[in-house]
Structure 1
Amino acid sequence: MVAVGARCVCGRPLAVVTRPKLDDGTPFPTSCYLTSPEAVKAVSHIEAEGVMAQYGQMLAEDVQLKAAYERAHEMYLAFRHALAERLGDDETYIEGISAGGMPVRVKCLHALLAQTLVMGSGVNPIGDLTLDRISKEFDPRVCRCSLKPVTTQDDQPEYNEESEA
């Protein structure tokens, strides 16, 4: 890990920035890595619902969305390249490879959401759509780190503060 790229309002990491090459020399193209357990869980829920296929279809049908997704890919590459140069890392082995299936498909919403959290909304349209879609379960502006989920009668999560007994 190089830095915390996005934090919860309480200060805990939501996403981190990682080196293009790990200390042991292993290539690691995922420069923006989602670390928040709440975010990981929320994204896993919508991935299980088949949202990636829906987003892939949207990319195939919407020229503007596809162009914005390609720009997100280029931004990811530029971000990692600048990081590699600053750290003295060699990234030629992953040149042109970003994350999450960019620029042609949707493969990992966790990586795409991490890019949105690290680089901001408006950079990755699929990351933005993902954040909107999971907003009831995860919102970076709402701290749920100290909240304990409980299930209601209709199986919808609610959050109550953990008691400090």
Structure 2
Amino acid sequence: MDDRAVVALQLGRCPRALLRVARRCPHGAPAVTEQAPYDDAGEPFPTSYYVTCPHLVSGLARIEAAGGVERWTGEVERDPALRVSLERAERLQRELRRLAAAGRTGVDGGASFDLGVGGSSRTGSLKCLHAHAAFALARPGYELGERIIAELDPLWPARCCMNAYDPAPMSAILETSRHQWREGSRRLDAAATDSRLHERLIAEVELVQEELARRVGQTFGLEELARAYGESDRWVGEVVAERAPPGFRPQDLSIAQDAGFHLFSRAAYDFEP
């Protein structure tokens, strides 16, 4: 199986903006990939290096879920050496992105070239620990990333994650999520015409969003997930409005269902392999 196929299995989707494998685990499987600044459609990819190893993804997500992003942001504020380390990495990230683009800009006109590690727009404000760990694994010597990695115990699993890959559990998870989103569709339809459901549904939607954010950590840097999340949010806002939205379009509900299913299946794959 070639690297691209392995990465697709690790991510549960076809990889985009993939340039090469930048770091492998001790078992030989891809662990970190180097990314182009733009995909084939010209959409920006927010960071140069991306964690694909399911073991690393899950471990880093647990650190984030325990408040790791805020904690490490605080460490950067207090420790001048960490801040210098971050500033150097972000300068290198910008250079790498411009070099890889080879003069090409995407739909954002090159605006994303100025983003830091993980797509951060302000030095010192961390967004995604996965991106900082990926940078350190691909380019050893990045102190902040290496200190984040040091919290992973063990850093690598005793057996390769991909040796244990079995599509059967994933199929069951996806079937469960399909059922849940079909039920969600029915309830959204009801809420569009029954004002009594509005307040309760809004509260539940917020809880679901919080849970997805917790389970996926701060890894919504994938633009297609961000767009899907936005579409779902937009449509849910419409159907729970005080009055049913004019010109009700079933295809809009389908967009929201697809968006939600995409997010749910991504979370299920990452954290319940």
TM-score, structure 1 length as denominator?
Answer: 0.77
Q: Map 1:11-160 to 2 at 5 A.
A: 11-85=28-102, 89-90=104-105, 92-100=110-118, 101=120, 103-120=123-140, 122-123=141-142, 125-134=143-152, 136-139=153-156, 144-145=160-161, 146=163
Asked whether 1:10 is paired with 2:27, we answer yes
Q: Distance in 2 between matches of 1:48 and 1:137?
A: 18
Q: Is the 8 A contact 2:97 2:113 kept in 1?
A: no
Compare CA radii of gyration and give the structure with the larger one.
2
3-state DSSP of counterpart to 2:114: coil
* Offset at residue 47 of structure 1 (A): 0.6
TM-score by length of 2: 0.48
Q: Measure the CA separation in 1 of the matches of 2:146 and 2:137.
A: 9
Query: Which has a greater percent of strand?
Result: 1
* Post-superposition offset of 1:31: 1.9
Deviations 1:54-101 (A, max 9, x none): 21111111222211111111111112222222xx53262212112233
- For structure 2, the 5+ residue unaligned runs are 1-17, 166-273
Pair 131,143 (structure 1): closer, same or farther in 2 beyond 3 Å: farther
* Aligned counterparts of 1:94 and 1:107: Cα–Cα separation in 2: 15
Secondary structure of 1:66's counterpart equals: helix
More helix by share: 2
1:132, 1:118 → 2: CA distance?
Answer: 15
For 2:156 and 2:27, the matched residues in 1 are separated by 13
May I ask how many residue pairs the two structures share in their alignment? 142
Question: Deviation of residue 126 (structure 1)?
Answer: 2.3
Please give the secondary structure, in 2, of the residue aligned with 1:133.
Answer: coil
Whose RCO is larger (CA < 8 A, sep 6+)? Answer: 1
Whether contact under 8 Å (1:42, 1:137) holds in the other structure is no
The whole-number CA distance in structure 1 between the counterparts of 2:114 and 2:154 is 33
Computed over aligned residues only, the root mean square deviation of the Cα atoms, in angstroms, reads: 2.1
Measured after TM superposition, the shift of residue 143 of structure 1 is 5.0
Q: Is 1:4–1:15's contact at 8 Å kept on the other side of the alignment?
A: yes
